Amino acid sequence: MSNDTTFKALVVEETSDGEFKKSIQERKVSDLPENDLLIEVHYSSLNFKDAMSATGNKRITKQYPHTPGIDAAGVVVSDKSGTFSAGQEVLVFGYDLGMDTDGGLGQMISIPADWALPCPETLTLKEAMTYGTGGLTAALSVQKLEKMGAKPSDGPVAVTGATGGVGTISIAILKQLGYDVIAFSGKPEQSEHLKELGASEVRHRDTINEIGNKPVGRELWANAIDTIGGDYLSNLLKQTKAGGAVTSCGLAGGAEFSMTVMPFITRAVSLLGIDSVYIPLADKEAIWKRVATDMKLPNLESYGEEITLEQTPEYLDRFMSSKVVGRYVVNVKG
């Protein structure tokens, strides 16, 4: 492929007055960074981190103009490292993709070969992006609870941010594995949808915080998956059953939380961090094997809304106004 070959990409630019604008532009392969692996992107997906990058959050992306997209699924064009063959289907999640390395919301990406992994044979590229980083994070969260000894007979699992990408996939995976799920959401109009996904019960997210400043409360759930952070995380921990665990993977509700040590020292509750970005590639491959087998969801297409590359500016704005429901899969190739 020639360096003069052109492709379409979402480009975020910083204006002279400090504003950030998003547009679909034509770029050349020569505009991409020099790396071993060149991939033609067929599908990507939208995540909260992409929205932050697209609005100029310098904690996510330091240099502009830039193409967001922390997820990519596509076909190898060339690989100087010899790890992959031309035409092989591969997946890319995390590392620096879509942060300061041009990401999956462009039809071509150039990355180090050790950022990619083969797409499991039982998943299509579109299915892989229906999961995306959100689904990967959900699967890692469920697996971490399992490693702490969680089992369906312990009692229900609470899931916050239930209508978001991580939340919806978490609910569905937990249901498939036999767990009862209490879904917490700020969108009561989505209650029936959450029950269709597998939630046994749907509650308003603010009921978590009714405990106030008490150091511990009634033991209401055996384990929990928190995607919000802030006070919601604190108060989930306070109301988790003895010996239970709470995973943490998000900060939409705040990066800081305040509480006493009482749930930890009187109930042996565990707080478990989830990182889907920099985990070793071997661990990513292992969890993707589960996603493609015992965690694979029936009717997977129903969990993601397919959109075009041209629609991404509008849909990224939804993340910043809490209007996200489920997963958004981007047909990048068109």
Q: Which amino acid is at 233?
A: L
Band the pLDDT of 267: cuts 50, 70, 90. Answer: very high
| pLDDT single digits (tens) 98-147 | 999 999 999 999 999 999 999 999 999 999 999 999 999 999 999 999 99
| pLDDT single digits (tens) 7-30 | 999 999 999 999 999 999 999 999
Asked whether the domain spanning 134-273 has the same topology as the one spanning 6-119+299-331, the reply is no
Band the pLDDT of 322: cuts 50, 70, 90. Answer: confident
**Which tokens in the block code for residue 187?**
């969108």
| pLDDT score, position 137 | 96
Please list the residues that pair with 7 across neighbouring strands. 27
Are 229 and 254 contacting, i.e. CB atoms less than 8 angstroms apart?
yes
CA proximity to 51, closest of 290, 323, 245: 323
Mean pLDDT confidence for 274-297: 92
| pLDDT score, position 4 | 85
Residue 216, classed as helix, strand or coil, is: coil
Percent of the chain at pLDDT > 90 equals 90
Core vs surface per residue 290-314: b (16+ CB within 10 A) or e? bbbeebbbeebeebbebbebebbbe
Q: Report how far Cα 62 is from the mean position of its chain's Cα atoms.
A: 21
Q: How far apart, in whole angstroms, are the C-alpha atoms of residue 158 and residue 181?
A: 6
Q: Apex CA 168: angle with CA 329 and CA 22, to 5°? A: 35
Q: Which strands form 157-159's sheet, in the order they lie side by side? A: 201-204, 181-185, 157-159, 223-226, 245-248, 270-273
Please list the residues that pair with 14 across neighbouring strands. 20
| pLDDT score, position 301 | 82
pLDDT above 80 for 255: yes
Fold topology of 134-273: Rossmann fold (3.40.50)
Mean pLDDT confidence for 195-223: 97
| pLDDT score, position 303 | 85
pLDDT above 90 for 75: yes
Q: State the residue for tokens 């590392």.
A: 95
Q: Indicate the pTM of the whole model.
A: 0.91
Summary mean pLDDT of the chain: 95
* More confident call, 91 vs 319: 91
| pLDDT score, position 152 | 98
Q: Apex CA 98: angle with CA 97 and CA 104, to 5°? A: 90
> For the chain, what are the domain ranges?
6-119+299-331, 134-273
pLDDT above 80 for 1: no
Percent of the chain at pLDDT > 70 equals 100
User: What is the CATH code of the structural domain delimited by 6-119+299-331?
Assistant: 3.90.180.10
* DSSP at 296: P
pLDDT above 90 for 252: no
